Structure 1
Amino acid sequence: MDLHWLKPLLGRPSPFTTVYLDATRTGTSNDAEVVDRWKPVRRSLERDGASASVLDQIAELVTVPTGVRGPHGRVVVADAEGVVIDRVLAEPPAQSHAVFGPAPALLPAVRAADETVTYLLVEVDRTGADLTWAAGGTVRTAGGAETETVEGGHDAVRKTRAPGIERRNQTRAEDSWERNAEAVAAVLDKRVAERSPDLVIVTGDVREVKLVCEALGQQARELTVEVQGGSRGEGVNQGAFDARVGEALEQFRARRREVVLDRFREAQGRGDGAVTALDDVIEVLRRGQVLELVLHVDGQTAGIVDRTLWVGPEPLQLATSRGDLESIGVSEAREMEANVALVRAALGQDAGVTFAENGTVDLVDGIGAVLRWSDDSTPSEAVPTQSADQARLRTVV
C-alpha cells in the first residue's frame, strides 16, 4: 500500500498532535455531532500540553464536512507549527481519540488507509456517461463528490421499427452506441492516465457497458470491473447497488494484499528477496532495500508491540539500542515507539506497508519485508545471520 500521503511528516518539528475522529454526520444537527465528539478529545490534548493555536486550527478543520457520505473517520496530524495531514478514513474509529507526543501516531492511520481505495465510478447509457471520483482519503470540503459528464454526441440512439426504414435505423442506432462508447472510453483513458485511480467501476446500460469496456486502452482496462445495478437515470436500488460496489472494493483490497503476500511467500521459499524477524527487517530498512513492509494485522500478538527503537535524525537511522546506532556513526539518538520508527523508515525509502492476517504468511516478531534488491550481505531466510534472532530458524521437513 502506497504511503506517499504521509511523507510530508518527515523532517517536521515536534511535538506532534494526532487526532482520530468519527466524522460521520447523521440527522439534522450534523455539525453539532462532530463538535460534540471533538470537545472531549480537545480537553485531553489540552491536559497533555498541546498548543492552543494548533488545537484551534484542528477544530476549524474537523467541524467542516468532509464531503463523504455514510460512516467514516478522519485523521488529522499537526506538528509544532500546524496541520500537516488531513485525511478521510474509510471506517470511523471505535472511539474518537488523540495522541500528543514527540512523534505522530502513524500505525492506526496506516491500518485504516489499507481499507481505502481510490476509484472512479462510471455510470453509462447510450448517450454518454457520468464520472464520479471517490477520492480515497482526500477531504472534499468544497463541494462533495467530484463529478464529470461525458456526452457522446451521436444522437441516433433508438431503433425505429417503422416499415421500410427499420434496418437502416437499426444500423444507425448501433453505430451511434459504438461511437458514444468510444467517446466515453477516450475520456476514461485520459482520466486514468492523469490521476491513476486504484479501480474503475463501470455500471449502467448492459450493452453500452460492454462497448465502453471493449473500447478502453490497456491501462484503463486492467483497472476496470463491471458492477450491475447502477444507472444514469432514476429507479436505482441504491442500497443494493452500494452493497455490490462494496463487494467490488473488498475484492480489490484482498487482491492488492495478496499480490504482496504472494511475492513475500515466494521469496521466503527460495531464501532470497524477503526477510522476517525484527533485527533483519531493521537491517534491510537501514540499507534502503525494502519495497514493502509486511506487518501482522493484530499488533497485540506481534513482536513489536510495546517495543521501542533508537532512531537518528534521518528516517533510515534506526537500531534496537543506542550503542548499535552509534556504531554506524549516529551520535544524535532518541527512543521512538517501534511501529512509528518502522513506518518512518519505510516512508524514507518510498516503501509501502501491507497487513497480513493470521496464518497467511510466516512472520517472526509479526514483521517481514519484501526487498527491492539483495546481495551477499543481505540477511537470508536460507542461512542464519548475525543479525537474526534464533526464533527465525525453522525446522525443514
Structure 2
Amino acid sequence: MKLDWLKPLLGRTGPFTTVYVDATRNDPTGETEVLDRWKGLRRDLERQGAPTPVLDEIEDVVTRPTRVAGPHGRVLIADAEGVRIDRVLADPPDRNSATYGPVPALLAAARAADEAVSFLLVEVDRQGADLYWSDGAGRLETGDHEVVEGDHDELRKVKTGGGWHHDHSQNRAEDSWERNAETVAADIDKQVVRRNPELIIITGDVREVPLLQEKLGHHAKELAIAVPGGSRAEGVKQDTFDERVKATLEAYRARRREGVLDHFRQEQGRGGAAVTQLGDVIEVLRRGQVSDLVLQESVTTNASPIGDRTVWVGPDPLQIAVTRDELEAMGVTEGARELRADIAVVRAALGQDAGLTFAVDGSVDLVDGVGAILRWIDPSTPSESVLSQSGDSGRVHDIV
C-alpha cells in the first residue's frame, strides 16, 4: 500500500492535531451523532493544549456529511495553519481518539488505509459506459463519476428475417458494438495512465463486457476483472452485486498483501534485498533503500513489540537513528528529538515514497515486528540469516 495520501504532511512543522472518529450517521441528514463524538474529543484536545482556531476548523470539517452510507470512520490531521488530511476510512475506529503533539499519529491511519483499494468500476452497455472511481478510502460514494458515450450507429442486432439484409444488419450491429467497446476502452486507457488504479472492475451487458476487455490496452487489461450482476439500467439486484464487488476487493487485498510478503520471504531466505530488526530497518530507511516497509499487525496494538521503544529523528523524515549520538554523527544538531519508533519508521517510509504492508503475526519472520524490502543493496547493507539447519529460531546478525 502506498502512502501518497499522507504526502501533504511532508515538510510541515508541528505540532499536529490528529483525530480518529466514527463518522457513521444513522440519520444521513443529522449531525448530532458525529457532533457528540467530536465534543468529547475536543475536550481531550483542549486539555492537551491544542489551539482553539485549529479546533474550530476541525469541528467545521468533521461535522460536514461524508455522503457515505453505513459504518465508516474518518481521520483528520491538522497543523497550525489548518486541516491537511481529511480522509474517510472504510471502517470506524475501535475507539475515537485525538492527540496533539510534535508529529501526527500516523500508525492508525496507515493501518486503516492498508484495507483500501484504489479501483475503477465500469458499467458498460452497447451505448457507452459509466465510470465510477473510488475515493481514497476505496469507496464509490464519494468518488468521481464519468459517462462515456460510445460509437453506436446501430444499437440493435436483428433477430428475425433472413437473406442479405439480415446478415448485413447483423454485421453492422456487431461492428457498432465493437466500435463502442473501442471508444470506451480508449477512454479507460487514457485515464488509467493518469489516475493509476490498482484494479478495474467491469460489469454490465454480457456481450459488451468481454468485448471491452479485449479492446483494453495491455496495462489496463492486466488490471481488469469481470464481475457479473451490474448494469447501467435499473432493476439489478444491487445487494447481490455489491457483495460480489466486496468479495472481489477482499480477494485483491489478500493477493496484494501476500505478493509483498512472499517477496519479503524470498529475499530474506536468500539473504537478499530484505532486512528485519528495528536497528537494521532504521539504517536502510536512513539510506533511502526501502521500497516496502513491513509491519506486524500487533505493532498497531497495545501488545506492540516496539511499543515502548523510541528513536531519534531530525526535521527530515530520513534523519533517523537509534541513538542521539548516531543522529549527531549524521550532522543533525538542530531539531533533534525522541520519537516513538513505530511512528518514526512510518514517517521515514513516507519520506522515501515507500509502500507499507501489514502482516498477520507469525506469517513472516520479523524481529521486533518490523522488516523492509529494499530497492537496492550494497556491501554495507545489513543482512540477517535464519538458522534453519538446527531448527533453532534464533538469528545470526552480521554486516556483509
Fold-level similarity (TM above 0.5): yes
Quick check: 24-33 or 150-159, which moved more? 24-33
Partner of 2:390: none
Provide the rounded CA distance (Å) in 1 between the counterparts of 2:361 and 2:99: 28
Q: 2:305 aligns with which of 303, 306, 309?
A: 303
Q: Is the 8 A contact 1:297 1:357 kept in 2?
A: yes
TM-score between the two structures when normalised by the length of structure 2: 0.91
Deviation at 1:391, TM superposition (A): 5.6
What is the aligned partner in structure 1 of residue 372 from structure 2?
369
> Aligned equivalents of 2:177 and 2:153: distance in 1?
9
CA deviation string 1:158-187 (max 9, x = no partner): 222342343332222222111111111111
- Alpha carbons of 1:376 and 1:36: their partners in 2 closer, same or farther (altered >3 Å)? same
Write out per-residue CA displacement over residues 5-54 of structure 1, whole angstroms, 9 at most, x where no aligned residue: 21221232221100011122332543222212211111111121111100
SS in 2 for 1:331: coil
Give the secondary structure class of the aligned counterpart of 1:211.
Answer: helix
The amino acid across from 2:58 in the alignment is: I
In structure 1, stretches of 5+ residues that fail to align are 385-389
Q: Taking structure 1 as the reference length, what is the TM-score of the superposition? A: 0.92
Q: Is the 8 A contact 2:123 2:203 kept in 1?
A: yes
Q: Do structure 1's residue 104 and structure 2's residue 104 form an aligned pair?
A: yes
Give per-residue Cα distances to partners, 1:236-269, cap 9 Å, x unaligned.
1111111111111111111211221121111101
Offset from partner CA, 1:300-328 (integer Å, 9 cap, x none): 44421121111122212222222232233
The residue type paired with residue 271 of structure 1 is: G
| Deviation for aligned residue 1:67 | 3.2
Name the residue aligned to 1:387. none
Aligned to 2:271: 271
Residues 75-94 of structure 1: CA deviation (Å, up to 9, x unaligned): 11011222111111111112
Q: Could you tell me which of 327, 330, 334 is aligned with 1:328?
A: 330
The code of the aligned residue for 2:2 comes to: D
Which whole-Å CA distance do the structure 2 matches of 1:344 and 1:391 have between them? 29
For residues 266 and 28 of structure 1, the distance between their equivalents in structure 2, rounded to whole angstroms, comes to 48
Q: Is the 8 A contact 1:67 1:139 kept in 2?
A: no
Q: Contact between 1:66 and 1:139, CA under 8 Å: does it hold in 2?
A: no
- Residue aligning to 1:30: 30
What is the match of residue 393 of structure 1? 396
Match of 2:345 among 342, 346, 358: 342
> Paired residue for 1:153?
151
User: Identity of aligned pairs, percent?
Assistant: 61
Change (3 A) 1:241 1:383: closer
- The CA deviation string for residues 343-391 of structure 1, in whole angstroms up to 9 with x for no partner, is 111112111111111222110110001011111111112499xxxxx96
Q: How many residues align?
A: 387
CA contact (8 A) 1:302 1:367 kept: no
- RMSD, aligned CA: 2.1
* Distance in 1 between residues matched to 2:362 and 2:327, nearest whole Å: 33
Letter in 2 for 1:2: K
One-letter amino acid of the counterpart of residue 201, structure 2? I
Q: Which amino acid aligns with 1:338?
A: A
- SS class of match (1:298): helix
- Partners of 1:145 and 1:30 lie apart in 2 by 22
